[in-house]
Amino acid sequence: MVFTCTVLCARRDFDKYWKRRRIFQLSAHFEGRKRNCYSVAVRYVHRAFAYTTNSRKLKKKAVRRRWIDRIHAGAAEFGSTYEALITGLGRCHISLNHQTLSNLAV
Amino acid sequence: MSIVRPLLSRISSFTYSACQQEHVCTRSVRTISKSLQAMNLNERVRPAQEIVEDTSLEEEAQRKVIIEKVNSQIEKSTHGRLYAIIHLMGKQRKVTDGDLIQMEGNFPPIAGDKIRLEKVMLVGSSDFTILGRPILRPDLVRVEATVVERNLSYTKIRFIKKKRSNFMRSRFLKYPTTILRINSIEITGKLDERPEIEGVEGRTF
């Protein structure tokens, strides 16, 4: 085969530019060399990914804790407690969840 | 009419005889207290018969007054803006007229479809709230919505890395989302006026 122009696939790492572009897009809001230097940015982007996956579980716990506090505050306005309110609602077959109860309490 | 609490009758027979005597032997008091402790009772419970008054008639009268007031507001539609709590796609959402809701997951209706949201758990206005146990009956409330948009969510990342172990897994996901516009919330029935046959509306045999 005869090639008149330089063959792109003969280069060693054709996708290097685009691979790094993917990482730099995600690290655009980081500080310093984490933003522009690939070997540093890769590590911190992976960390950011790991944080997002882990924090999804933690968020649920934190948010539920916040709902419980708000329900307790709303119940205390009427001289009751969170436990009394929740058990009472359960006995009356009212299945409003903690999110809606905290929305109503706020 | 006074109602005597049955739970305490056992204890009352125990201590009433002790109180009748002028001199209460310390030994008998100790044995009584030990037996009470053995029963695991709360300290606040007094071992005596309590008289509980029957207020059911008064409560019935109050209830009727409240229901009449609410029904009159419904009849004249003077309740104003209504809010409702709807159970949709596994989640409960507080909703009023003109709201936009976003849902994630497989929701069959396409853009432009008109929907009636049936699982209404609570309806309220500024003056009253009607709670369902767990859902309000369909001839009482009507919530209508239209599907505005069907799209994909932002890319969600699932990433695990174990350091120094050459282990790294990543997955980039996009879930289908729909946006609904709540057109109207109406109370179409009255409280305490249930039809003879329920669960038949909108069904074909």
| ipTM (interface pTM) | 0.77
Q: Quote the mean pLDDT of chain B.
A: 83
Which residue in B151, B152, B170, B150 sits closest to B160, CA to CA?
A: B170
d(CA A67, nearest CA chain B) in Å:
14
Q: State which residues form the domain around A95.
A: 14-105
Are B157 and A52 inside 8 Å of each other by CB?
A: yes
d(CA A3, nearest CA chain B) in Å:
39
Please report the DSSP string for B144-190 in residue order.
EEEEEEEEE-PPEEEEEEETTTTEEEEEEE--EEEEEEEEEEEE-S-
Asked if residue A2 belongs to a domain, the reply is no
Residue pair B135/B87 in contact by the 8 Å Cβ criterion: yes
Q: What is the pLDDT of residue B4?
A: 39
Are A94 and B134 inside 8 Å of each other by CB?
A: yes
Q: What is the pLDDT of residue A97?
A: 95
Residues of A in contact with B119 (CB under 8 A): none
Percent of chain B with pLDDT over 70: 77
d(CA B168, nearest CA chain A) in Å:
9
Measured N-to-C along each axis, helices A98-105 and A38-76 cross at an angle, to the nearest 10 degrees, of 70
Residue from the list A53, A100, A103 with its beta carbon closest to the beta carbon of B158: A53
pLDDT tens for residues A55-70?
999 999 999 999 999 9
pLDDT tens for residues B64-101?
999 999 999 999 999 999 999 999 999 999 999 999 99
Answer positive or negative: Cα dihedral of B54, B62, B193, A85.
negative
Q: If pLDDT is split at 50, 70 and 90, which confidence band does B102 have?
A: very high
Q: What is the pLDDT of residue B3?
A: 41
Do B102 and B13 fall into the same domain?
no
Asked if residue A32 belongs to a domain, the reply is yes
Residue pair B116/B165 in contact by the 8 Å Cβ criterion: no
Residues of B in contact with A46 (CB under 8 A): 159, 161, 168
Residue A47 has pLDDT above 60, yes or no: yes
Are A46 and B168 inside 8 Å of each other by CB?
A: yes
Residue from the list A53, A93, A96 with its beta carbon closest to the beta carbon of B92: A96
Asked if residue B203 belongs to a domain, the reply is no
Cα distances from B130 to residues A59, A77, B61, B134, B139, in angstroms, run 32, 21, 18, 11, 14
Residues of B in contact with A101 (CB under 8 A): none
Asked if residue B124 belongs to a domain, the reply is yes
Task: Indicate the number of domains in chain B.
Answer: 2
Do B20 and B92 fall into the same domain?
no
Q: State which residues form the domain around B14.
A: 4-38
How far is B202 from B205, CA to CA, in rounded Å? 10
What's the rounded mean pLDDT across residues B1-30?
44
Asked if residue B11 belongs to a domain, the reply is yes
Q: If pLDDT is split at 50, 70 and 90, which confidence band does B42 have?
A: low
Q: What is the pLDDT of residue B13?
A: 42
Which range is most confident: A3-17, B56-70, B187-201? Answer: B56-70
Task: Indicate the number of domains in chain A.
Answer: 1
Q: If pLDDT is split at 50, 70 and 90, which confidence band does B15 have?
A: very low
Tokens matching residue A37: 């230097």
How far is A70 from A62, CA to CA, in rounded Å? 13
Q: Quote the mean pLDDT of chain A.
A: 92
Do B112 and B19 fall into the same domain?
no
B110 touches chain A (CB under 8 A): no
Residue pair B197/B164 in contact by the 8 Å Cβ criterion: no
Residues of A in contact with B85 (CB under 8 A): 96, 100
Asked if residue A9 belongs to a domain, the reply is no
Residue B29 has pLDDT above 60, yes or no: no
Residue B84 burial class via C-beta count within 10 angstroms: exposed 0-12, middle 13-18, buried 19 and up: buried
- C-alpha triplet A100, B103, A53: angle, nearest 5°: 90
Do B13 and B83 fall into the same domain?
no
Tell which B residues from 172 to 191 touch A, by Cβ distance under 8 Å: none
